[in-house]
Structure 1
């Protein structure tokens, strides 16, 4: 205990004692049938349903009644959650020593731990986060990956609630990308866990390999906000649980059985007693503890964790204050909110699937007609910001980029190199990615039929990861196959034009980037609705030497089928990618004819359930499975605003 603030420990014990008494009083009122107490409990139980998978919501009663049965996905989700938890190694700035703690990723490039672990940027500059410090299934230690922290980019700490957010470098010392490990989503709402539910802590006790504490670990003391007045609620920052933790566990995530982070582990709560008018900490043998006693001899009553909802409320409070940390708090809050999205996204942002560059001809599936490809990583310099969609491309008219409405805006993936924007400009087109769905929400494309070169197209470039956004926000390439194609939103033919060969080559290369891809069924993409309409647009542009602007994207719905539910028995794609296959797409085609702006809007359906509805302008005949619509209807279905159309 020599390096632990004794006053802070005593305060924790006093908070715990106060919470125990408050909870006893509330539970007594519930047993007596007091209306307010019963109402508060009912509100929390109702909120709890929001954090259960739809299939589990009908079993909430069994969760409350202490059932030991868990769905098998509990193990798989736990493995994903553990990947984002790492060991923090720190050196005391004055050179007096070093130590270990735990931290975990909560957004791309952002770690959460305790303030008493990293009290200032100076402490963080000398600290590292080590991931993969764990044993494999054979008990052999994995190669650890060490990432430096970057407090110059972001550092936010609060001593009262004992939390610290700090930026992490995107690559480990050995070059391993950070986005391989995913992150844990944080949500500000309550209902993630109830009293007497089991909790799990993933930690690095005493700086050792990663461990999990799940047995005999319950939320023992948790006073619900719904039972408190607004003044009491503002100070209701902690909950308490029984588990085994050791020095080095500070900064660990506390999970519900559904793997939502409910609290940031802070410290053990010791037993205390009064000795000559002074409160002292007690050993396991009942005697007063000395200042230099090790943790093993202290009698601990419980563990204290800082509630995630209160941490996020505090970050929001700082962001709106005059504090010098206001900017850091605002950026932290935006990063966490963008990364987490809605509760429907689940508790864990899954790491990007492995990228395999296959070399064997048979492995590539050439015999089965699968297009061989190599997935590469192009440098950031290959994607300059001075390219992109031109809103003034049509002579005499301006068609701005689609503008996401407020709900959708918070769900778009921010750029790593420019966190203030979500736009991804390419040569002749621009896209934006939905972080949770890992798919583009739109592509805006300029097509110049008068600058299309003669002759055949060159050899197809390799597909590439987009270096500008987190790989966890890009399509998982393992799902694509001979059956599920990488459907270009900005078609290759559309953008293969330019003033010279270099410009055309850049456009061609840009089109083969995963942030320009939506999964499409083979027949839809290569033979039927999508393909046929693309051919008509491109044919019209070339025949009439027209300039055309096309806006296109998927209609993302929660009811879209998950790839895991559609995969065949022979699929070797990663499980649990979270990818859902969009059923419907929208497309708006605009051009100038006789000085007037013309446009047509379409809905394309991969189920071919919609019927064509009459002839369209510019001799575009909707293929089967395509129906004309209006720009206004597309706006309502996509949460995008479209300006420039009459």
Structure 2
């Protein structure tokens, strides 16, 4: 099996730098080390780092060029597969998804990656199906991601910025008390950071979504999926990932840097309609 050959996420894709997150010391030793060295795995138009203990991505970062994006590249014929740069045992594979309601949920959205030359877009389409870019998500959540607020966030953003460029960093919130299922701890929350420009001004928004699992992944009705706009301070506390000071300064609604690790800076704002987002 051939390894991906893309150049990965470009921090300089926008007029301002979108630096990748830095892990806190508490999780730095848990980052998986691919055979190619370092901790970052590069693909076409996106990059990621993996948690060794959880076998899931800590974060995935990708660039979007709305002006060159293809809409006619299909997922037909694509297969989910392990990345050969990591041990198979270090990735969550098909066993957890068999005969239940768990879907293989993309972190970097396939549709976001289909830009550039036709060849690059087709390579990105294929790369998006590596299990390193996948997390277990309830089917209701995955449906919500396609048709609800969570899945519409990037689309709404590209409409606001006239379908030009944006950079996104996202991932699961890996908590020690996430529920176990078939030897896999299934994340209940996911986050997404969007960086972009409006009228020449750099801006950043951060969102959080929750999914609810029944014990044993039972097919009972689930609680509604909730999406919130959050601050960089809350993101860092929940994920143990630090954003650069420059990036934090651009977060819409970020209160301050002072007392960042205190509990009084959480300013969650429910998002029920993408049209209500103040970009």
Which of the five TM-score ranges fits, normalised by the shorter chain?
A: 0.7 to 0.9
Determine the C-alpha separation between the residues in 2 that align with 1:465 and 1:388: 18
Determine the C-alpha separation between the residues in 1 that align with 2:147 and 2:226: 9
- Taking only aligned residues, the RMSD between alpha carbons, in angstroms, comes to 2.1
Partner of 1:478 in structure 2? 95
Determine the C-alpha separation between the residues in 1 that align with 2:107 and 2:96: 17
- Alignment of 1:518 onto 2:135: yes
Residue 639 of structure 1 deviates from its aligned partner by 1.2
Pairs within 5 Å for 1:466-615: 466-481=83-98, 483-498=101-116, 500-527=117-144, 532-541=149-158, 544-564=162-182, 578-607=183-212
TM-score (norm 1): 0.35
Determine the C-alpha separation between the residues in 1 that align with 2:241 and 2:84: 25
Would the aligned equivalents of 2:110 and 2:125 in 1 still touch at CA under 8 Å? yes
- Alignment of 1:631 onto 2:232: yes
Deviations, residues 619-641 of structure 1 (Å, cap 9, x unaligned): xxxx9511111012101111111
Structure 1 segments (4+ residues) deviating >4 Å: 528-531
- Alignment of 1:457 onto 2:74: yes
Determine the C-alpha separation between the residues in 1 that align with 2:169 and 2:71: 26
Partner of 1:413 in structure 2? 32
Secondary structure, aligned partner of 2:50: strand
Residue 410 of structure 1 deviates from its aligned partner by 0.1
Deviations, residues 317-354 of structure 1 (Å, cap 9, x unaligned): xxxxxxxxxxxxxxxxxxxxxxxxxxxxxxxxxxxxxx
Residue 531 of structure 1 deviates from its aligned partner by 5.2
Secondary structure, aligned partner of 1:400: coil
Residue 546 of structure 1 deviates from its aligned partner by 2.1
Partner of 2:7 in structure 1? 387
Residue 533 of structure 1 deviates from its aligned partner by 1.9
Secondary structure, aligned partner of 1:463: coil
Change (3 A) 1:466 1:530: farther
Secondary structure, aligned partner of 1:464: coil
Pairs within 5 Å for 1:247-258: none
- From 10, 16, 22, the equivalent of 1:397 is 16
Secondary structure, aligned partner of 2:81: strand
Residue 476 of structure 1 deviates from its aligned partner by 2.9
Determine the C-alpha separation between the residues in 1 that align with 2:128 and 2:151: 15
Would the aligned equivalents of 2:209 and 2:225 in 1 still touch at CA under 8 Å? no
Determine the C-alpha separation between the residues in 1 that align with 2:168 and 2:208: 14
Change (3 A) 1:562 1:550: same
Larger Rg: 1 or 2?
Answer: 1
Would the aligned equivalents of 2:172 and 2:187 in 1 still touch at CA under 8 Å? yes
TM-score (norm 2): 0.78
Determine the C-alpha separation between the residues in 2 that align with 1:536 and 1:403: 24
Residue 454 of structure 1 deviates from its aligned partner by 4.4
Residue 557 of structure 1 deviates from its aligned partner by 1.0
- More helix by proportion, 1 or 2? 1
Secondary structure, aligned partner of 1:388: coil
Would the aligned equivalents of 1:525 and 1:531 in 2 still touch at CA under 8 Å? no
- Alignment of 1:642 onto 2:220: no
Residue 555 of structure 1 deviates from its aligned partner by 0.9
Residue 460 of structure 1 deviates from its aligned partner by 4.5
Residue 406 of structure 1 deviates from its aligned partner by 1.6
Pairs within 5 Å for 1:252-331: none
Residue 525 of structure 1 deviates from its aligned partner by 1.1
- Alignment of 1:428 onto 2:48: no
- Higher relative contact order (Cα pairs below 8 Å, separated by 6+ residues): 2
Structure 2: gaps of 5 or more residues:
214-223, 250-279
Residue 535 of structure 1 deviates from its aligned partner by 2.3
Determine the C-alpha separation between the residues in 2 that align with 1:583 and 1:633: 16
Change (3 A) 1:581 1:531: farther
Determine the C-alpha separation between the residues in 2 that align with 1:449 and 1:542: 9
Residue 457 of structure 1 deviates from its aligned partner by 3.2
Paired residue total: 235
Pairs within 5 Å for 1:8-157: none
